[in-house]
Amino acid sequence: MSEYGWMGPALGRIEQDPLARRIALGARPALACAARQAGATIAAWARGRGWVTAEAALRSEGVAIRESAEEAAAGPFVHHALYTAPPPRVTLFTRTLGALDRHLDASGLRVRLHGVTVREIVLAHELFHHLAATMPMPAAVRPEVDIMQIGRWRRRAVVRAAEEIAAAGFAAAWCDVDEAPALLDAATLEIQAVLGSTASRTGRRTE
């Protein structure tokens, strides 16, 4: 099994979700698997549309792509890129991506990406977020859990971690490199000092 397998990071995302305490430990792997598979299924559909690259797909969808040298860390997150809407836009954090490129070359890890660029993996992840914002998604992408119950009345909320797991599954399938998203995340957390962040690494996670 690859040291950059996806299940560990996926369970970590669920653990850090605000609703984690509402999700039984035994139910988390199934939630992660369903989200991952949903992402892969949507990637196959997206490839079927004839899009050659994630960047081309985003641009054809009217999504602006902007590069920024700003700090990529915000609160507990370290961003490779960020999708925002409206208007739909992807911001690529060039300091993060540049540091990743250098690290992959220096460590020899680039060979594990089988020729796929960091930019393509990151944009594929953001392409999924755009699709999730603009078209119906399977329930596995936004699973709900009960947060309050009074008699027969229930209030439910979405487990946001599932969309991130699905986005990673989408990017892995889109790029045909199963470990690519987890590898980039692990490498990013290893090079925090290079990125110049003064924030603590404790609890950091990538998006």
Q: What are the C-alpha distances in Å from 44 to residues 6, 55, 127, 158?
A: 19, 16, 13, 25
Residue predicted with more confidence, 198 or 186: 186
- 170: in domain: yes
- 83: in domain: yes
What distance in Å separates the CA atoms of residue 87 and residue 81, rounded to the nearest whole number?
A: 16
Range of the domain at 169: 7-206
Number of Cβ within 10 Å of residue 50's Cβ equals 9
- 1: in domain: no
Domain total in the chain: 1
What distance in Å separates the CA atoms of residue 30 and residue 36, rounded to the nearest whole number?
A: 10
- 2: in domain: no
- 78: in domain: yes
Q: Is residue 136 over pLDDT 60? A: yes
Task: Give the chain's radius of gyration (CA, Å).
Answer: 17
Fill in the amino acid letter for 39.
G
For residue range 187-203, list pLDDT tens digits in order. 988 887 554 543 333 34
- 57: in domain: yes
For residue range 18-43, list pLDDT tens digits in order. 999 999 999 999 999 999 999 999 99
Q: What is the pLDDT of residue 194?
A: 53
Closest CA to 145 of 132, 162, 165, 124: 162
What distance in Å separates the CA atoms of residue 68 and residue 101, rounded to the nearest whole number?
A: 16
- 180: in domain: yes
